[in-house]
Amino acid sequence: MAEPGFVERVRRVVAAVPPGQVVTYGEVAEEVGSPGAARAVGNVMARSDGLPWWRVVTGTGRLVPGHQAEQARRLRAEGVTVRNGRVVGFGA
């Protein structure tokens, strides 16, 4: 289980991602001062209601396994182009 301070920092960073933008789990980890803790960020996201989880993708722009359809729907509603389970133009 992640430390409470880590959890709160992750929640703050993810909550601040504006509509129509995406970040990676790794970017969130770096932003909260824990580079290399992308998986821990994912664990926080899995247990956190109310966060815009759909704006967080893998380092290659792939959507969350098991929730791809819902994540794609929400991202498209915000103007993000998604194709084949990936954000188009990610990292370009």
Q: What gap in Å lies between CA 43 and CA 63, rounded to an integer?
A: 15
Per-residue pLDDT tens digits for 31-81 = 999 999 999 999 998 888 889 999 999 999 999 888 999 999 999 999 999
Q: Say how far residue 38 (Cα) sits from the centre of its chain.
A: 10
Q: What angle do CA 16, 21, 22 make, to 5 degrees?
A: 85
Q: Which domains does the chain have, with CATH numbers?
A: 4-87 (1.10.10.10)
**Predicted confidence band of residue 2 (pLDDT cuts 50, 70, 90):** low
- In terms of pLDDT, which residue wins out, 4 or 9? 9
